[in-house]
Structures are given as C-alpha cells and as structure tokens.
Amino acid sequence: MTSAELRETIIDILSEIAPDEDYESLKDDVSFRDQLGMDSMDMLDVVLGLRRRYKLPIPEDDYPKLDSMNSTIEYLLPLVNEKKD
C-alpha cells in the first residue's frame, strides 16, 4: 500500500465520522482535533475504523500518533504493509 492509498482510506474513515467537513482543504500537518473539531469519541472511531478495515489493533499508548494525517500515515503505513506481507 502506498502513502496516497492509505491517505484515501483515512479520509474515508474521517468522512464517516464528520461528513460535513471539506476534505479537499485538509492540512496534513495539522491535528485532526484542531482542524475537524474531533473529540476523544471521534478519535476512538478512527481507531475502530482502522481496526475494522485492516484488522489492526492499535494500543492505547499509540493513540497520540494518530494526531494529524502526516503522523497517522507515518505510524500506520509500515504496520499496514507488514500486516499485508
């Protein structure tokens, strides 16, 4: 999986949680919380969405790594590709 493909999947997950946001203008280096007004329940939706799509458990200690698009991709990409292998 490429970084761009993973980004698309994350956008899909975010769009389910916050359907009215404009994802065209999403800034990849800004936190989801600040940019999309996401709270802790929303962040758990991101974790659940990833788990359901990739059967990928994300330990609670790693939740801070899901802060922005860049940090999420940096954290997830190797895990997702490792899982596929």
Q: By CB under 8 A, name the binding residues for other proteins.
A: 16-20, 41, 44-45, 48, 51-52, 55, 57
CB of 73 to other proteins, least distance (A): 23
Residue 33 backbone dihedrals phi, psi, to 5 degrees: -55, -50
* Closer residue to other proteins in complex, CB, 6/58: 58
Q: Which of 73, 43, 85, 36 is nearest to 60 (CA)?
A: 43
Nearer to other proteins, 11 or 18 (CB): 18
Write out the two tokens for 74. 């940096």
Nearest approach, Cβ of residue 63 and other proteins (Å)? 13
Cα angle 80-37-31, degrees, rounded to a multiple of 5: 50
- Comparing CB distances to other proteins, the nearer of 33 and 73 is 33
